[in-house]
Amino acid sequence: MLPAFVMAHTPRNARVSSEAPTLRLGLVAVAIAALAGGCRGTRSEDPPVHLNPNMDFQERGEPQEENPFFADKRWMRKPPEGAVAVGLLKDDDHLYRGRNLDGTLADALPPSLKLDEKLLGRGETRFNIYCAPCHGASGHGNGPATRRGGGMQPPPADLHMKRLGPEPLGFFFHVISNGKGKMRSYKAQIPVEDRWAIAAWVRTLQQSHSTTPVAAAAPAAAGAAKGATP
Amino acid sequence: MPAIFPRWTNNVPIAIGLLAPLIGAGLIFIVWYWFSPSYTDVGYRPEQPVPYSHKLHAGDMGIDCRYCHNTVERAAHAAIPPTGTCMNCHDLVKTDSPRLKLVRESMASGESIPWVRVHQLPDYAYFNHSPHVAAGVGCATCHGRVDQMTVVEMVQPLSMGWCLDCHRDPKPNLRPLDEVTNMAWDVEKTPYDPDRDPMRKRKVNPPTHCSGCHR
C-alpha cells in the first residue's frame, strides 16, 4: 500500500513500472532493519550496547574490577606487612589454629562453638560443597573429581582409613586450613567456624561407618561436654 | 493568480494524519523492542580466556556453585574464584591439558586470569547477592540453567522492570532455602509455599521504593 501523496505525484504513465521497485525498496528496508536489529535473545560475543549511557559506568571501584591507576591493578591497597585490623588478631589458638596452649592439636571444638544439630547440619552441607567433589559425600575418597579426566594422582584420602580414626578433631581442622600432601589449603575458601563444623561432620561420618548407632551417640556427647569446658 | 501549492499538496494533511501515528507507533516499538536489555543484554555470551565449562563442572560432576563462588552467601559480590580454586583439583587432574595452560601460568606468575564478566548491573544500581540467597531465590532464577551451559550466557535482562516484577511479587521465585543452588529444582514438580515453610524465620519483604536499589 503506497501513501496517497506518492501515488498522486507519480506520472500516470510511469505508475505501473515504478510501484514495484518502491515496494521492493520498502521490503529491503524492512529486511535490513530486521537484520541489523535482530531478535531478542540472539547470542552474541559482543558486550551489551548501552544505548543510553546514563551513568551506567562510573569512576568507582567494584569488587574484582581493575583499577588502571595502580601498577597491581587493585582498587584496595594491601595493608603493610604485619598490620592487624582491630579485632582480627586471631590470637585464639584453639579456634584459628586448632591447637591447645601447649601446641598439640586440640581434640575438641573451640569453646565458642557448640556441638548441636545446627553445627552438624552446617558441617554436612559445607562438607558436601567443599570436600565431596574429591572425598565423596560419604568420605570414601571417591568424589566426582576422581572419576573424570583420568582421575586424581595421588587419589584423595579415604576418610575412613584406620590411620585417621584416632586423630584428634583439631587434625581435620588443621588439614582443611593448611592442606596436606597435595591437598591445598581451604583457609581462604571456608570461614573458620565452617571448618570446625566440617571437622565435626568428618568425625560423624567416621563414627557412622565404624560403630553401632548406639555407640556413635556416646562419643559425640562426650565431645560436646569437652567442647563446653575450656 | 496561479495556485501557490500544486494540487497534490491537498493530500499532505491526510498523509500526515495516516503516517504520523504509524511512525510514532513504529518508534515506540523500536525503542521498546530493541533498546530494552531483553535485546541488548540477553544472549551475551563472551568467549572466556579459559574454555571452562559450567556444564561439565556444575552439571555433569555436580559441584556446588559455592565451591567456587564461595562469597555469595556472605557478600554482595559472588566472587569469581582465584586461580588457586581451580588448582585445588587441577593440580592433580588433567595436569598437562593444553586448555588449562593459562591456569597453570596464572598460578605460577600470580597474574589473574582475565575472565570476562558476563552479568553486570549499572553502577547506580545496588545489588547484594547474600540477602537474595538467604531469601531462597535460586541461582537459576536469575542466571538460568548454568549447569547446562558450556559457555555462560545471560538469559535474563537484569533490567529494572524485571527486578521489580519479582520484588513486587517474590513468591513464585522463592524456593526452599536448601535448594538455592540446586539448578534442577522446579516449582512445577515440587509445589512450594514459602509461607508454610517452617525453615523460614520471617516473611520475605523485598523493597520496592527507589532507595532500595538506588542508594
Mark whether B132 and B183 lie in a shared domain.
Answer: yes
Q: What is residue A5's predicted lDDT score, i.e. its pLDDT? A: 41
Mark whether B133 and B180 lie in a shared domain.
Answer: yes
pLDDT digits (tens, 9 = 90+) for B80-100: 999 999 999 999 999 999 999
Task: Report if residue B5 sits inside a domain.
Answer: no
The number of beta carbons lying within 10 Å of the beta carbon of residue A134 is: 21
Mark whether B66 and B127 lie in a shared domain.
Answer: yes
Q: What is residue A4's predicted lDDT score, i.e. its pLDDT? A: 43
> What is the grid cell recorded at B95?
595436569
Q: In degrees rounded to 5, what are phi and psi of residue A44?
A: -155, 145
Which residues are CB-neighbours of B104 under 8 A, at least 6 positions away? B90
Task: Report if residue B47 sits inside a domain.
Answer: yes
**Chain pair A-B, CB pairs under 8 angstroms:** 122
Mark whether B160 and B96 lie in a shared domain.
Answer: no
Q: Using the Cα atoms of residue A179, residue A185, residue A187 and residue A191 in order, give the sign of their dihedral.
A: negative
- Contact assessment for residue A135 and residue A159, using Cβ atoms and an 8 Å cutoff: yes
Q: Are A9 and B37 within 8 A, CB to CB?
A: no
Domain span holding position B203: 41-80+121-213
- Whether B77 has its CB under 8 Å from any CB of chain A: the answer is yes
Q: What is residue A230's predicted lDDT score, i.e. its pLDDT? A: 39
Q: Are B45 and A43 within 8 A, CB to CB?
A: yes
Task: Report if residue B3 sits inside a domain.
Answer: no
Is the model's pLDDT at A16 over the cut of 90? no
Is the model's pLDDT at B103 over the cut of 50? yes
Is the model's pLDDT at A214 over the cut of 60? no
pLDDT exceeding 70 applies to what percent of chain A? 80
* Overall size of chain B counted in residues: 215
Q: What is the DSSP string of B105-149?
A: HHHHH-PPP-PPP-----TTS---HHHHHHTTB-HHHHH--GGG-
Mark whether B105 and B125 lie in a shared domain.
Answer: no
- Contact assessment for residue B100 and residue B50, using Cβ atoms and an 8 Å cutoff: yes
Mark whether B152 and B203 lie in a shared domain.
Answer: yes
pLDDT exceeding 70 applies to what percent of chain B? 100
On chain A, the residues whose CB falls within 8 A of the CB of B74 are: 191
Is A93-228 in CATH node 3.90.245.10? no
- Residue A51 binned pLDDT confidence (cut-offs 50, 70, 90): confident
- Whether B62 has its CB under 8 Å from any CB of chain A: the answer is yes
Task: Report if residue B180 sits inside a domain.
Answer: yes
Q: What is residue B51's predicted lDDT score, i.e. its pLDDT? A: 96
Q: What is the ipTM of this complex?
A: 0.89
Average predicted confidence (pLDDT) for chain B: 94
Q: Average pLDDT, stretch A33-60?
A: 84
Mark whether B201 and B133 lie in a shared domain.
Answer: yes
- Coil, strand or helix: which one is B174? strand
Gap from B147 CA to chain A (nearest CA, Å): 15
Least confident of A86-95, A159-168, A217-226: A217-226
> What is the grid cell recorded at B3?
495556485
Mark whether B149 and B71 lie in a shared domain.
Answer: yes
Query: For residues A127 and A196, what is the distance between their CA atoms, to the nearest angstrom?
Result: 11
- Whether A42 has its CB under 8 Å from any CB of chain B: the answer is yes
Q: Average pLDDT, stretch B23-42?
A: 93
Q: Are B124 and A52 within 8 A, CB to CB?
A: no
Q: Average pLDDT, stretch A46-61?
A: 87
Q: Average pLDDT, stretch B161-181?
A: 95
Q: Average pLDDT, stretch A179-192?
A: 95
Query: For residues A192 and A98, what is the distance between their CA atoms, to the nearest angstrom?
Result: 10
Q: Are B82 and A64 within 8 A, CB to CB?
A: no
Number of domains in chain B: 3
Nearest CA in chain B to A155: B92
Gap from B171 CA to chain A (nearest CA, Å): 25
- Whether A211 has its CB under 8 Å from any CB of chain B: the answer is no
Q: What is residue A38's predicted lDDT score, i.e. its pLDDT? A: 78
Task: Report if residue B165 sits inside a domain.
Answer: yes
Query: For residues B56 and B65, what is the distance between their CA atoms, to the nearest angstrom?
Result: 12
- Whether B179 has its CB under 8 Å from any CB of chain A: the answer is no
Mark whether B154 and B132 lie in a shared domain.
Answer: yes
Gap from B95 CA to chain A (nearest CA, Å): 9
What does the domain layout of chain A look like in residue ranges?
Answer: 93-228
- CA distance between the termini of chain B: 69
Is the model's pLDDT at A19 over the cut of 70? no
- Residue A8 binned pLDDT confidence (cut-offs 50, 70, 90): very low
On chain A, the residues whose CB falls within 8 A of the CB of B160 are: none
> What is the grid cell recorded at A11?
506520472
Q: Are B45 and A45 within 8 A, CB to CB?
A: yes
Which residues are CB-neighbours of B68 under 8 A, at least 6 positions away? B81, B85
| Residue that the C-alpha cell 583439583 belongs to | B89
Mark whether B56 and B108 lie in a shared domain.
Answer: no
- Residue A33 binned pLDDT confidence (cut-offs 50, 70, 90): low
> What is the grid cell recorded at B142?
536469575
- Whether B36 has its CB under 8 Å from any CB of chain A: the answer is yes
Q: What is residue B188's predicted lDDT score, i.e. its pLDDT? A: 87
- Coil, strand or helix: which one is A38? coil
Task: Report if residue B125 sits inside a domain.
Answer: yes
Q: Are B35 and A52 within 8 A, CB to CB?
A: yes
Task: Report if residue B22 sits inside a domain.
Answer: yes
Mark whether B76 and B161 lie in a shared domain.
Answer: yes
Is the model's pLDDT at A178 over the cut of 90? yes
Mark whether B127 and B205 lie in a shared domain.
Answer: yes
- Residue A2 binned pLDDT confidence (cut-offs 50, 70, 90): very low
Q: Average pLDDT, stretch A149-157?
A: 87
- Residue B78 binned pLDDT confidence (cut-offs 50, 70, 90): very high
Q: Average pLDDT, stretch A187-209?
A: 95
- Residue A36 binned pLDDT confidence (cut-offs 50, 70, 90): low
Q: What is residue A174's predicted lDDT score, i.e. its pLDDT? A: 96
Is the model's pLDDT at A18 over the cut of 60? no
Least confident of A40-44, A138-142, A212-216, B150-154: A212-216
- Whether A41 has its CB under 8 Å from any CB of chain B: the answer is yes
Average predicted confidence (pLDDT) for chain A: 83
pLDDT exceeding 90 applies to what percent of chain A? 53
Q: How far is CA B118 from CA B12, B68, B80, B145, B187, in A?
A: 50, 16, 11, 15, 26
Q: How far is CA A180 from CA A31, A156, A157, A171, in A?
A: 63, 10, 10, 10
- Contact assessment for residue A145 and residue A132, using Cβ atoms and an 8 Å cutoff: no
Task: Report if residue B1 sits inside a domain.
Answer: no
Is the model's pLDDT at A218 over the cut of 80? no
Classify residue B127 by burial, with Cβ atoms within 10 Å: 0-12, 13-18, 19+: middle
- Coil, strand or helix: which one is A68? coil
Nearest-CB residue to A43 (from B12, B153, B178) = B153
